[in-house]
């Protein structure tokens, strides 16, 4: 899908949309040179294809799928790209005290959230069996040899909390390297901007209404990245209660009373992982850890209503 708008004084705005990584990816660029724009956008979409080949757990030939099968047998040598991605993920796990945990996959599989079908409430016994397979410390990275070793049986990694953010960052970097200075790349609830739209001092971003009633929140984003984690996309209802894919790796249970969490950060892999982590940690712990470093906005569910909790550094909104 392609769109193009221009005015007499401003460079045209070109937007193209393609499906990648299980969501719709939109790339918007402001530049006068259409040939340059189209070539740069093509290259940016190539970054999403490369990330899919690197990290997808839904294709048997991805490097992460192969690693998930082999790393329990012993240290497995991986590419520089995959090793760097896992280093980033581990650093974010450490920073969030394990609230962001890319080894959450065995739990997500148990609940049915990976395939988004066969949703079920696991028993206490099933949770107790699967929980020992989860824990970011169970992934051992050897910097010297570029190897990855899973130190416990049943460990498996899921890129759901960082893969799209990493792809957005790669796409932005590719656009910038090709001479594009004003652009936005958005993949589902994750996005990053460079520069500004001509004639404006911000990008206008809309955050989804968790109740899906059309009451989206407009954000004025001037730089960096923004990600939202919410309980309204991948979930099921049981006994009148909502169970979402945002699982606490410490308990194996979905987080309750938080409808969404939006985080702004310098890079999209940071905002992606930290939105997940803050959702898990809740507002009190998140504000204590990150309130002075990040922009954070929670929408909490209380008595059937949505109640916002916002850090001082969150962008202006209406």
Convert the pLDDT of each residue in 93-146 to its tens digit.
999 999 999 999 999 999 999 988 899 999 999 999 999 999 999 999 999 999
Distance of alpha carbon 127 from alpha carbon 106, whole angstroms = 10
In a domain, 138, yes or no: yes
In a domain, 314, yes or no: no
Distance of alpha carbon 258 from alpha carbon 265, whole angstroms = 20
pTM of this structure: 0.94
The SS3 assignment for 60 reads coil
The DSSP output letter for 249 is T
- Give me the domain span that covers residue 76: 63-159
> 312: which 2 tokens?
């001082």
DSSP H or E run through 245: none
Report whether 93 contacts 136 (CB < 8 A): yes
- How many CA atoms lie within 13 Å of 141's alpha carbon, on the beta-carbon side? 16
Report whether 250 contacts 238 (CB < 8 A): no
In a domain, 291, yes or no: no
**How large a percentage of the chain has pLDDT more than 70?**
97
Rounded mean pLDDT, 261-271? 98
Q: Facing residues of 19 across strands? A: 24
Distance of alpha carbon 261 from alpha carbon 265, whole angstroms = 13
Per residue in 49-97, pLDDT (tens digit) is 999 999 999 999 999 999 999 999 999 999 999 999 999 999 999 999 9
Rounded mean pLDDT, 165-181? 98
Distance of alpha carbon 234 from alpha carbon 248, whole angstroms = 15
Distance of alpha carbon 315 from alpha carbon 215, whole angstroms = 18
**How large a percentage of the chain has pLDDT more than 90?**
92
Q: Facing residues of 244 across strands? A: 235
Report whether 164 contacts 272 (CB < 8 A): yes
Distance of alpha carbon 115 from alpha carbon 236, whole angstroms = 13
In a domain, 19, yes or no: no
23 vs 17, 19, 179, 263, CA distance in Å? 10, 6, 27, 19
Q: Structurally, how many domains does the chain consist of?
A: 1
CATH number at 149 reads 1.10.3980.10
Give the burial class of 85: count Cβ atoms within 10 A of its Cβ; 0-12 exposed, 13-18 middle, 19 or more buried: buried
In a domain, 72, yes or no: yes
Rg, Å, the chain Cα set: 20
Residue position matching structure tokens 């009148």? 240
Q: Per-residue pLDDT for 8 more than 50?
A: no
Rounded mean pLDDT, 33-56? 98
- CA–CA–CA angle 316, 317, 318 (5° rounding): 145
62 vs 53, 69, 108, 205, CA distance in Å? 5, 11, 19, 32
Query: Which residue, 310, 299, 309, 294, is CA-closest to 260?
Result: 299
In a domain, 313, yes or no: no
Q: Per-residue pLDDT for 272 more than 50?
A: yes
In a domain, 133, yes or no: yes
In a domain, 2, yes or no: no
């Amino acid at each position: 899908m392609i769109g193009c708008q221009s005015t007499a004084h401003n460079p045209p705005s070109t937007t193209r949309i393609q499906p990648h990584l299980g969501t719709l990816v939109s790339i918007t660029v402001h530049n006068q040179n259409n040939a340059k724009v189209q070539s740069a956008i093509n290259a940016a979409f190539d970054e999403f294809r490369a990330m899919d080949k690197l990290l997808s757990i839904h294709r048997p030939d991805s490097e992460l799928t192969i690693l998930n099968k082999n790393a329990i047998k012993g240290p497995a040598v991986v590419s520089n790209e995959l090793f760097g991605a896992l280093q980033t993920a581990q650093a974010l796990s450490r920073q969030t005290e394990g609230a962001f945990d890319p080894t959450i996959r065995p739990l997500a599989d148990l609940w049915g959230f990976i395939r988004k079908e066969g949703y079920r409430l696991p028993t206490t016994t099933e949770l107790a069996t699967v929980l020992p397979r989860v824990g970011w410390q169970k992934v051992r990275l050897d910097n010297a040899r570029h190897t990855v070793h899973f130190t416990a049986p049943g460990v498996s990694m899921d890129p759901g909390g960082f893969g799209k953010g990493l792809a957005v960052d790669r796409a932005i970097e590719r656009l910038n390297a090709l001479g594009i200075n004003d652009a936005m790349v958005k993949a589902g609830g994750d996005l990053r901007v460079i520069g500004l739209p001509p004639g404006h001092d911000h990008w206008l971003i809309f955050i989804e209404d968790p109740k899906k009633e059309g009451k989206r929140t407009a954000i004025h984003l001037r730089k960096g990245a923004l990600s939202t984690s919410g309980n309204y996309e991948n979930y099921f209802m049981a006994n009148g209660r909502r169970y979402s894919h945002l699982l606490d790796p410490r308990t194996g249970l979905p987080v309750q009373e938080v409808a969404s969490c939006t985080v702004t950060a310098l890079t999209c892999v940071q905002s992606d992982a930290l939105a997940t982590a803050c959702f898990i940690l809740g507002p009190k712990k998140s504000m204590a850890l990150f309130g002075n470093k990040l922009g954070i906005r929670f929408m909490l569910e209380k008595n059937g209503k949505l109640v916002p909790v916002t850090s001082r550094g969150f962008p202006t909104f209406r």
